[in-house]
Structure 1
């Protein structure tokens, strides 16, 4: 496999992984007010040992954040206990926004790398034709 193909494969795998990360961040944000919801965290893994020798990025296991759920005071809520509290979610919107921004920037960087590799490959083909 050529260096160009390996670079394109690496960029494409990173784009796919960051896209999945953004989906999970969006899911966390959309469930921030859902009682009992636990924040999902993602990790990345390197896929090695392939025949083409290109190390790729893959989404690792998705884990639930085991930090304590917020206790919300609302005696009128259907899930409230005798003290008027119920278990909210453990989603912190500031952390989710920061994670979304980081994933977006990483996605954009990988997209630039993909485009640069494509342009270099096209330029090489043009040189070889002359």
Structure 2
């Protein structure tokens, strides 16, 4: 992996965490949505991350232990491989005056927990910030390396 490939790794992490924050915001925005285009109440969404690149961490560790170093043909990183719907049961709330109430007066509400979404959003924010910090550290190292020739 080249020194500048580190920028790609941090950028891929920032991109993935930004999408995770967007999904958490979408979930919070739809906490009271009882009617969707697909029919029924809104279902919570979650992101699935996937690493990519030629070598896994296990392979890199084995190569380092053998003294071969780490050589990748493609810069590793992370991406969102899928956005899935949470299959937990929807909440049933008694509200007979609601237009979407069933014959017994219950309304199916989204399976979104605002507290969990807030924690997910905070976690994604911290991960994003960690990638920004790593990116800035690599940028500072590159600038120092350029100053060596002066």
Q: Same fold (TM over 0.5)?
A: yes
Q: Tell me, in whole angstroms, the C-alpha distance in 2 between the residues paired with 1:40 and 1:108.
A: 23
Q: Which runs of 4+ in 1 moved over 2 A?
A: 49-53
Q: Tell me, in whole angstroms, the C-alpha distance in 2 between the residues paired with 1:86 and 1:93.
A: 19
Question: Gapped runs of 5+ residues in structure 2?
Answer: 35-40, 56-71
Q: Residue in 2 aligned with 1:66? A: 87
Q: Tell me, in whole angstroms, the C-alpha distance in 1 between the residues paired with 2:114 and 2:20.
A: 15
The superposition leaves residues 40-64 of structure 1 with CA deviations (integer Å, 9 ceiling, x where unpaired) of: 0111111123974311110121100
- 1:12 and 2:16 matched: no
Q: Tell me, in whole angstroms, the C-alpha distance in 1 between the residues paired with 2:90 and 2:143.
A: 53
Q: Tell me, in whole angstroms, the C-alpha distance in 1 between the residues paired with 2:43 and 2:116.
A: 14
Question: Gapped runs of 5+ residues in structure 1?
Answer: none
Q: Residue in 2 aligned with 1:40? A: 45
1:81-96 equivalent positions in 2, closer than 5 A: 81-96=102-117
TM-score using structure 1 length: 0.93
Q: Residue in 2 aligned with 1:31? A: 30
TM-score using structure 2 length: 0.81
Q: Tell me, in whole angstroms, the C-alpha distance in 2 between the residues paired with 1:2 and 1:92.
A: 42
Let me know the Cα RMSD of the aligned residues. Answer: 1.4
